[in-house]
Structure 1
Amino acid sequence: MIPSFLADLFRNQSYNPDNFFLIAGPCVIESEELLDEVAGKVSAICKRLEIPYVFKSSYRKANRTSAGSFTGIGDDKALHLLRKTGDKYHLPVTSDIHAHDEAAPAAAFADILQIPAFLCRQTDLLVAAAETGKIVNVKKGQFLNGPSMQFAVDKIKKAGNDKIILTERGTTFGYQDLVVDYRNIPWMQAHGVPVVMDCTHSLQQPNQTSGVTGGNPQLIGTIAKAAIAAGADGLFIETHPNPAVAKSDGANMLRLDLLEGLLEQLVKLRKAVI
């Protein structure tokens, strides 16, 4: 059952309340044309499949491996494009923030503020996000387990905000790989919040000597199906028409034309396990 704060978020959408919800879009805002293509196609698919949908794209990428990596088209321009896309397709929108002083400016445009996994223990960041009154989605650190995310939940609640989502995105395995421990889904649901599976970042292969993160996008369907079977409330899937030319996380994103078939399978699986 979708909690009331998410039901309110999806009030402009017609959806099956027994479905998982989807957070999806290109990793970073590259252009208005890209946002329009992805939001238009994904929203049409989700409408047909009765999946509640949040459009995601980062207005700025601060956590890059290489100093030469693309970080964005400019904060103000990107945030306005994010909101414009949401308004055009009647969708809630989300982006990540990286510092406490980004929370209020981003909250003027986004419905959900996303906290990157590496920053999930940053108290001032969590409190600043909570104080905006927006939904706060905290990605579980690659170095933490599900039970330890109770402390992030507590920080946000103590700041006066109980609109919280937690996202599983894999656990560090060695130096250049991640693994997914699906026990983290029920462990984090035990904190009384909806839990999302990040099906793309959990397949990253970080810390490559090239300075560009690698990935295993061919396994996105495997991660997503296992997450639905384990009872995840939502899925996070970054998608791009041509990941090979994407300016961020191209090695992890699902090609846009593959999304519809995957979501059709996942809806069927959801019906089988609820």
Structure 2
Amino acid sequence: MNSERISAIEFLFQGQPRDPEMFFLIAGPCVVENEELVMTVAGEVKRICQRLGIPYIFKSSYRKANRTRADSFTGIGDEKALRLLQKVSKEWQLPVLTDIHTPPEAAMAAAYVDVLQIPAFLCRQTELLQAAGATGKVVNVKKGQFVSGEAMKFAVEKIRQVGNDKVMLTERGSMFGYGDLVVDFRNIPIMQAAGVPVVVDCTHSLQQPNQASGVTGGRPQLIETIARAAIATGADGIFIETHPEPAKALSDGANMLALQLMEPLLEKLLRIRRALQTS
């Protein structure tokens, strides 16, 4: 396997202290819409991360199983989307992450990608967690909007029980009423106490769910605020969904970062992390 491709995975799980001035990035479009989109985003974000020295994992869901409305876009077909993720991995030499939703999907998706992600709503599903862990792939578990940071240690334990220590947790906000989320940055050290890298999802944490229209809203103008706070409070990594034209995205466009804003944002975040290490 090409060393450039696994650099982000090695950064997380190489068994030695990570560079305290560095964080890693999980980023990509919400869902695989077509080949041009995933290849364009992967190539551009890789270029930025190579220049800045940031370990990078490409993210896109091969299928969106959790949609408010029955007529919402869910994907282009499982096999077609997974093959496109595999193509991103091979052509751009990047580790790739995608969501799974049921235990049988774990082995299927693991044949194409490097990281399996458990959606927040499913973070307590024991069979799903253990099926993901049994593949031997890295498993990223998103903290449920209804779950405390302390309780996420049990998700980690379920995966470790099947012999997989390559686990990370992602903070993505907690429900605040019916239509808003808040990020509790105390969850970063609390979840790190489980001995795993902790990521902050800077885009889904700004969703405004349960809208009467059936289309989730968002506050993308605050992505930088969440990202800066995440880096300042010691997150190991950040998660950002991005698209060249968020208004035209087929899923979660209301809370995605415009691709052209990625580079200046990451530059600012590096300055924050480095300033904290020299203060």
TM-score by structure 1 length?
Answer: 0.95
CA distance in 2, matches of 1:215, 1:61: 18
Runs of 4+ that moved beyond 2 A: 8-11, 15-18
Measured against aligned partners, the alpha-carbon deviations of 1:28-83 in whole angstroms (never above 9, x if no partner) come to 00010001110111000000000000000000000001101000000000000001
Name the counterpart of 1:58: 61
3-state DSSP of counterpart to 1:232: coil
Structure 1, unaligned stretches of length 5 or more?
none
Tell me what 1:31 maps to.
Answer: 34
Is residue 201 from structure 1 mapped to residue 219 from structure 2 by the alignment? no
1:165 to 160, 164, 168: 168
Query: Alpha-carbon deviations, 1:187-238, whole Å to 9, x = none?
Result: 0000000000000000000010100100000000000000001100000000
- Equivalent residue number for residue 124 of structure 1: 127
Aligned residue for 1:251, secondary structure, equals: helix
1:197 alignment partner, SS class? strand
One-letter code aligned to 2:227: A
1:267: which partner in 2?
270
Match in the other structure for 1:88? 91
- In the aligned structure 1, how far is the partner of 2:196 from the partner of 2:54? 19
Matched, 1:45 2:48: yes
**Separation (CA, whole Å) in 1 of partners of 2:41 and 2:262:** 11
1:68 maps to which residue?
A: 71
Give the direction of change, closer, same or farther, for the CA distance of 1:203–1:93 in structure 2 (3 Å limit). same
Cα distance in 2 for partners of 1:155, 1:65 equals: 29
Change (3 A) 1:9 1:194: closer
Q: Does the alignment pair 1:143 with 2:146? A: yes
Contact kept in structure 2, 1:28 and 1:248, CA below 8 Å: yes
Give me the whole-angstrom Cα distance separating, in 1, the residues matched to 2:13 and 2:40.
21
Where in structure 2 are there 5+ consecutive unaligned residues? 1-6
- Counterpart contact for 2:9–2:95, Cα < 8 Å: no
Aligned to 2:81: 78
TM-score, normalised relative to structure 2: 0.93
3-state DSSP class of the match of 2:141?
strand
Counting matched residue pairs gives 268
Identity %: 69
Cα displacement (A) at 1:18? 3.4
Question: How much has 1:126 moved relative to structure 2?
Answer: 0.2
**Contact 1:225/1:266, CA 8 A, preserved across alignment:** yes
In structure 2, relative to structure 1, the CA distance for the partners of 1:77 and 1:10 (3 Å cut) is farther
The answer on whether the counterparts of 1:10 and 1:92 sit within 8 Å (CA) in structure 2 is: no
In 1, the alpha carbon distance for the partners of 2:150 and 2:13 equals 28
Counterpart amino acid of residue 231 in structure 1: G
CA distance in 2, matches of 1:6, 1:39: 17
Superposed CA RMSD = 1.7
Following superposition, the deviation at residue 7 of structure 1 comes to 1.2
Please say if 1:7 is aligned against 2:10: yes
**Contact 1:206–1:213, Cα closer than 8 Å, also in 2:** yes
Task: Determine if contact 2:173/2:183 at 8 Å carries over to the other structure.
Answer: yes
Q: Is the 8 A contact 1:178 1:205 kept in 2?
A: yes
